[in-house]
Structure 1
Amino acid sequence: MDSRRSLLVLALLFISFLVYQQWQVDYHSPKPVVAEQTQISDVPANSTSSLPTITNDTLSTSKVITLENDVFRLKINTLGGDIISSELLQYDSELHSDTPFALLQNTSDHIYIAQSGLIGKDGIDSKSGRADYHVENDYFKLAEGQDQLVVPLTFEKDGVIYRKIFVLKRGAYDVAVNFEINNQTARTIEVEPYAQLKHTLVENSGSMAMPTYTGGAYSSSDTNYKKYSFEDMTKADLSIKTKTGWVAILQHYFVSAWIPDQNTNNLLYTITDKDNNVGSIGYRSSVVSIPANTVTTINSKLWTGPKLQNQMANVADHLDLTVDYGWAWFIAKPLFKLLTFIQSLVHNWGLAIIGVTLIVKAILYPLTKAQYTSMAKMRMLQPKLQEMRERFGEDRQRMSQEMMKLYKEEKVNPLGGCLPILLQMPIFIALYWTFMEAVELRHAPFFGWIQDLSAQDPYFILPILMGASMYLLQKMSPTPVADPMQQKVMNFMPLIFMVFFLFFPAGLVLYWLVSNLITIAQQQLIYRGLEKKGLHSRSK
């Protein structure tokens, strides 16, 4: 297979990839899950019977307080104790905007909040209303030298004191949200903890080159990680009994996730209100009994922040899988670790991409050499193959037999040029998903006009250079294509690729450009070696 036909194979794989990844975003989900077969008996069967309704409390406000550590600023509505805003202080909303990125938010146009509470027999949250907590101050900030900030909200009802306690840690995006229940009555009371993420039902965004997923996801005892889109929620309510796990809402680079106590039985659920275009994904825990004159604590955590794999893995099992590399995860994960390691040395993500490209091309060099050697040998056999075509005419079976015999005698593998191409695409796809998922590359600058490697080149310089390098690589191929139509297609191939790459992340285009330049250098090195052996010159 000569290099031009290899390029056709690469083009076919590339187009297939674009179609496949768009299909994954639009139609990724299997049939909606109604129930999972996990035997947990003490979780209520109906997950939504007594939960607060979707919309009646979303914009209601009693008092809003602010909690802040060194990485985010939270706003909490004392009516229900819901987190209605999270501003990520170390991430700009837009490049160089100096405005913190707002993940959770609560406006008339967009709802994305984190609710939690107590329902059930002696609960303080219901469809008719929410607990209105009391707190002394309006603003709480983690002080210098302080490792954590503890803020209690208090509500008293019928001789029971309920405290909703928020714990923020330094440098952490997970918030402990604990309920302390002090039963000062002479009877046993019962409550059922719940937590949910409410979000406006939205469609997936982005282009065909850079589609992004916004929607739900969960983890359970039987499933480490699974997406459950807003479309899935409108088709069927999620209802899964589990002892471990979490529920989340994902978006490009960021995630919010409720993590219940992993030692209790829980029911994961979704509910939607199509009329108001709002949906929720949450969990409901089993009944908690608090005997008379005792104090009980119920624990949970909320992650609301960037997709930081190491930190999320420490917060909850499989939460790091929300950094979704797709089927190429087994390549993407080590590539990302390599990329991160090189970046720690050179302190520039663009230089790190170049370093990864050099290493990948060095690893694939033996296969690349075999590819060009095989191509040269195939060219040497072209006169004999043409003679066979003239001799056997329409006898395709005899022609095939004689060709295989010739290949065996000459020790030529006709598919030898395909393997490097087939290996290159999974690596490209893995790097693509790394750029789509790794928040570390968001707003990461290179040099000059490239101030964000995760976004497209604003002046399209890198895609043009990439197209030019592909054209040069094509022209350096020593064997012209015999078919005039195929020749025309090949002449347009660099332009077609360049148009596609106009909309790809600049870092990915940088990888492909550097890869092409290295391939050109490797090709010249290999052909010079073949010329010394007399093989390359005879194949022209």
Structure 2
Amino acid sequence: MESRRFALIALLGVVLFFAYQAWEKDYGPQSAGAQQSAGTAATPMEVPAPQAQALAEGASKAGGAATAAAGTEAAVPPAGTALVHVQTDVMDATIALDGASLQRLVLENYAYSKEEPGRKLALLNSTAASNEQPFFVFQTGIAGVEQPLSGDRTPFTAPKSDYRLAAGQQSLDVPLTYVDAERGYTVRIVYHFERGSYVVKLRREIRNAGSSPLQAAPYARWLRNTVQAGVPQKFVHTYFGSGIYQQDGDSYKFKKYDLEDFAKKPLTVEQQAGWAAMLQQYFLAAVVPPPGAKVTYTGRSVGNNRYYLQAVGATTAVAPGATQAFNTTLYIGPKLQGKLDAVAPGLALTEDYGIFTPIAKPLFWVLTVLKQLTGNWGWAIVLLTLAIRGAFFKLSEKQYRSMAKMRKFGPRIKELRERYAGDREQLNRAMMDLYKKEKFNPLSGCWPLLLQFPVFIALYYVLIESVEMRQAPFVLWLQDLSSPDPYYLLPIVYGITMWFQQRLSGQMATMEPAQQKIMNVMPIGLAAFFSLFPSGLVLYYVVSNAFTIIQQYVITRRLDREGLGKH
């Protein structure tokens, strides 16, 4: 009975789960309709000059937001551009002197894949040979009135070409300078890196050495295509796109925007502070303006399957002889639990478990505690499973008592079926009368399984969304709990334990032949289905089934002593 109920509930849950994924727009794969042929050059783009009227109003709605056709400078510096290399303990970055842009950033603590542990993950990368490879860069500058004060092709200089965080050194500054003698100003951009941190502090300064005021508006821009860095997992779709911590009256809300929607409806959001981020599985890149700063966030398509999300600050008049500084914070790295809120309010919302967040967050916390005790995420899942099943032990015992009582009704139910063989409605009514008379609820045995299903779904999201679980090893061949079992052994073990569970319950003998055939095939079908899921999730159900087998044995012996066992 339990096996049959589990099969029905599992199938219902799977249908509902994937229906939810289809309905929930945030959890669907990006379409490839925007992709063009490989090798096409990057579309030119640049932050255009803010219009005089907009500057006078202290806003940049019309001119501060970049458009694909507005500029004449290429988004990516040409080959041969001088580069500055930056090495810290957690990242390896490359800055192009043309435009002072981040062209490449490698995360030293994260491998590209389990199969290539020596190859580190490049979250930012401008060297894509085609649109089938990841392209993702960061650009920054200062917009002016008629033309940019510094832009994506502005030729900066640096004191040296290689910066490395030395032993005992806690931070590293990389200064870049551009002098425009003709127009009489100097732009200085400083990237500030810190030990053990994925936060990069960005300072942009403009010194007006001319005789007239300068109108300056800083901008920071993420530009990327729709190919993620890292090896994508089959049959696993997590959110990929952009997000803004958007002002809503006196509060803020996290809102997601699909990149491909920018081609249909360009995005413009004016507000104070907040942040804008490019999001993908396990990682994000965010720009965080200072608290209280007036900012315009814009999202656009520039063609060639490339999209940008940028933050443009309010226009400031820089008087002759004065220096104006614009500060902002970048976060380029993993979605680390418990770390993101320290970077910016609401940034932890990018650790997205969907509607299962109220269950998934505590679940992850428990797993973290168990991992600290065991030193391994796999053993943490095993202990979590045992704890959950132990908590449901009494409820399961009640379920088995209900099943034992159901067996005693077997002859009477068989008699009713024979009596009302041609009248299904009358049969159902007679059976309900029997249940009511004997004070028996046939659905009571479903509760232990139904109550565990939200845990199942929440654990699924923890495994595919928590970077801490990425490539987490267990034992033997299970070297990545966030990916399916490469040899399908764990799903096979799951099918075997389900088969044993069916036989131990003794319910197969009371089923009709057609039902028996379905139940015989069910372990094979579910094993094949679970072969598509993260192995950590299958591990949860294998341990759960093993616990159930032992539980059935213990409770059945109790029922035998009470005269409620099998006869």
User: In the alignment, does 2:197 pair up with 1:172?
Assistant: yes
Deviation at 1:198, TM superposition (A): 0.8
1:412 aligned counterpart, secondary structure: coil
- Residues 42 and 265, structure 1, Cα contact 8 Å, conserved in 2: no
Partner of 1:5: 5
Equivalent in the alignment of 2:74? 56
Match of 1:196 in 2: 221
Return the offset for 1:309: 2.2
Q: 1:99 aligns with which of 112, 116, 119?
A: 119
Deviates more, 1:63-72 or 1:41-50: 41-50
Given residue 160 of structure 2, which amino acid in structure 1 is its aligned partner? N
Find the counterpart in structure 2 of residue 209 from structure 1. 235
Is 1:379 aligned to 2:407, yes or no? Answer: yes
Distance verdict in 2 for CA 1:296–1:48, change over 3 Å = closer
Task: Give the secondary-structure state (helix, strand or coil) at the position aligned to 1:140.
Answer: strand
CA contact (8 A) 1:376 1:535 kept: yes
Which residues of 2 match residues 498-509 of structure 1 at below 5 A?
498-509=527-538
What do residues 303-331 of structure 1 show as CA deviations (whole Å, max 9, x unaligned)?
11111122222111221222221221111
Give 1:290 shift: 2.5
Aligned length: 525
* Equivalent position to 1:419, from 404, 425, 447: 447
* Structure 1 residue corresponding to 2:345, chosen from 306, 317, 322: 317
In structure 2, the residue matched to 1:510 is 539
Q: Specify the SS of the correspondent of 2:158.
A: coil
1:66 aligned onto 2:66: no
Note if 1:44 corresponds to 2:60: yes
| Mean Cα deviation higher: 172-181 or 286-295 | 286-295
Q: Distance in 2 between matches of 1:203 and 1:308?
A: 18
- Relative to structure 1, the CA distance from residue 455 to residue 341 in structure 2 (aligned partners, 3 Å threshold; closer, same or farther) is same
2:247 is equivalent to residue 221 of structure 1? yes
Q: Describe the superposition over 1:362-388 as per-residue Cα deviations: whole angstroms up to 9, x where unpaired.
A: 122232222222222233233334444
- Which amino acid letter does the alignment assign opposite residue 88 of structure 2? N
CA RMSD, 1 decimal: 2.7
Higher mean displacement: 58-67 or 312-321: 58-67
Q: Tell me the equivalent position of 1:121.
A: 145
Contact preservation (8 Å) 2:77, 2:96? no
Letter in 2 for 1:220: Q
Query: Are the counterparts in 2 of residues 50 and 119 from structure 1 also a CA contact under 8 Å?
Result: no
Deviations 1:97-126 (A, max 9, x none): 312211100123242101121113276357
* Pair 1:203–1:141, CA change in 2 (3 A): closer
TM-score, normalising length: structure 2:
0.85
Q: Is the 8 A contact 1:18 1:208 kept in 2?
A: no
Structure 2 Cα separation of the partners of residues 325 and 483 of structure 1 = 42
Shift of the 211–63 alpha-carbon distance from structure 1 to 2, 3 Å rule, reads: same
CA distance in 2, matches of 1:316, 1:237: 26
Paired with 2:15 and 2:499, the residues of 1 have a C-alpha distance of 19
1:15 CA displacement: 4.1
Q: Which amino acid aligns with 2:464?
A: M
What is the CA deviation profile of residues 331-359 of structure 1, one whole-angstrom value per residue up to 9, with x for unaligned ones? Answer: 11111111111111111111111111111
Change (3 A) 1:50 1:26: closer
| Post-superposition CA distance 1:487-506 (Å, at most 9, x none) | 21111111011112223222
One-letter amino acid of the structure 1 residue matched with residue 523 of structure 2? P
Cα gap change, 1:22 to 1:141, in 2 (>3 Å): farther
Structure-to-structure mapping, 1:30-429, within 5 angstroms: 42-46=58-62, 48-49=65-66, 53=71, 56-60=74-78, 62-95=81-114, 96-107=116-127, 108-109=129-130, 110-121=134-145, 124=148, 130-157=153-180, 158-202=183-227, 206=232, 209-222=235-248, 224-274=253-303, 276-390=304-418, 402-429=430-457
Partners of 1:180 and 1:295 within 8 A in 2: yes
**Alpha-carbon distance in structure 2 between the residues aligned to 1:484 and 1:348:** 45
Residue deviations 1:104-154, cap 9 Å, x none?
001232421011211132763578x63221111001111222221112111
Q: Give the TM-score of the pair, scaled to structure 1.
A: 0.89
What do the CA deviations read for 1:410-443 (whole angstroms, capped 9, x no partner)? 2322221222222222111111111111111222
Identity %, equivalent residues: 36
Assess if the C-alpha contact under 8 Å between 1:456 and 1:502 holds in 2: yes
CA distance in 2, matches of 1:308, 1:268: 25
SS of 2:506's partner is: coil
Task: Label 1:338 to 1:49 Cα distance change in 2 as closer, same or farther (>3 A).
Answer: closer
Decide whether the 8 Å contact of 1:76 with 1:82 is kept in 2.
yes
Do the aligned partners of 1:240 and 1:267 also contact (CA within 8 Å) in 2? yes
Deviations 1:29-58 (A, max 9, x none): 9xxxxxxxxxxx854333535787598231
| Cα distance, 1:501–1:125 mapped onto 2, change above 3 Å | farther
Equivalent residue letter for 2:540: Y
SS of corresponding position for 1:103: strand
Shift of 1:446: 1.3
Contact 1:65 1:77 in 2 (8 A): yes
Moved more, 389-398 or 6-15: 389-398
Aligned-pair CA distance for 1:402: 4.8
Q: Deviation at 1:395?
A: 6.5
Please say if 1:523 is aligned against 2:552: yes
Bigger RCO of structures 1 and 2 (CA < 8 A, at least 6 apart): 1
- Counterpart amino acid of residue 122 in structure 2: A
The 3-state SS of whatever aligns with 1:131 is: coil
Cross-structure match for 1:493? 522
Contact in 1 for aligned 2:102/2:139 (Cα 8 Å): yes
Given that 1:190 and 1:290 are in contact with CA atoms closer than 8 Å, whether structure 2 keeps it comes out as yes
Whether the 8 Å contact between 1:312 and 1:319 is mirrored in structure 2 is yes
Name which of 457, 462, 477 aligns with 1:449.
Answer: 477
